[in-house]
Structure 1
Amino acid sequence: MEGIVEGDGSGAGRYTLRPTRISNEDILFCVDVGPESMVELKVAMSPNGRPSTRLDSIKQAILVFINAKLTINPENRFAFASLGKSASWLRKEFSSEVESAFAAFRVLSATSSSSNADLTSLFRVAAHEAKKSRAQNRLLRVILIYCRSSIRPHYQWPVNQKLFTLDVVYLHEKPGPDNYPQEVYNSLVDAVEHVSEYEGYTLETGQLLARILFCYMCMLLSHPQQRCPQDQLDMPKKVAGSRLNDY
């Protein structure tokens, strides 16, 4: 949103926002189901008493996001896909019902191998859905949750076709002989910049802590039309006196 400064001749200025219509959102979640989505998190326990995995926490974080987003605006809608070697639908119809997430999660499970991560099909689906959203004066956003530390995603997409906004949450392992998360992260940043209509965020962590994922999902509640550039974000804030350095 653009702002203007109005002066009264005294040197003081008043900042106001130009009137802008904020579109209702259609949000497509795409969850990585490679083997690394089953890495166990520190401390966190699932309801059945077993250690929680990344995939468990991803499901919980998405539910928190959906409930918060519907509280902000009940007209927001959600659909769900998974990413194996390429993207595939879990639940194609966009819905404002929380039950649609539960239905998608019932068929969401990890795969045993992941030698490839092609985002082209995800972008094609998103572009197709974005055109339908625009016809209803809505805005399409894709939230990709990616978990692979040694596989850089690839895609083929025209540089001038920006029909939707892409956010990425990247959950990875520490760098090592078989892991190069920095290169993967750079590829994800490039993808966000390549396809996004509005400001897209790329958030990453190598910590196995569910609360960092939840924090990032809260940051993604921000509407793409109301965002500052990511390099101007001053969050998450450290707790005063805390000895933790999780971010």
Structure 2
Amino acid sequence: MQVEYPFLPVGQVSELLDVPVPTLRDWCNRLEELGIHYLKRNDRQERIFEETDIEIMRFIRNLKKKYGRYTSMEDIGRLIQENEELECRHEIIAPPPREEGTSVSKEVYSSEVLRQVYQDAIVAASAEIVKQTENLLHQYTEQMTEKIADKLKEQEEAMQKELEAHKKFMDQKFEESVRERSQKMDEIINIQLQILQEQKRINEEKNKKRGFWSFLRR
């Protein structure tokens, strides 16, 4: 069974349109002062909002959101009167007092109003999803940036260690090469010295023999 609503009080309309109650009352007062639109009242002389009233309040809200303080209620009132989709009420209608034990007759909310409510809810949910997605994307970007920075730092440290190890290896090779060359030079020098000493010995022996034969010839 479909639930039917005859009207909504100002508090529920405030929640439905996301407009503060004092702002709604001010709009209603200005519309009535300008003679553009009057809301029905209950037996306690409280304004009650039917489907047509809510559509007008939504129309005002959208204009205020779009243009802000640049739109006056006089301008909005003229736009309401020119809008054929909005139904204005030109006098205050107060319902007769209810008999004890009777209930208020119920009117069916049109599909257009329900569709607008659903659209507003979808827009709000979409905005929240976009906001959460942006936050998650921002967090993911920060995390990836930190990971990339850490990875680059690790690679830099590994490369530095590799360069130091290579330098140490080359220094050791250079020292070994110098040592080997030094040893070979020492060996060559020693051999040359030995050769020189041997030649010197041979020359000395030759000189001795030459001196002996010279002595005999005398």
TM-score of the aligned structures, taking structure 2 as reference length:
0.22
Instruction: Compare CA radii of gyration and give the structure with the larger one.
Output: 2
Give 1 or 2: higher helix fraction. Answer: 2
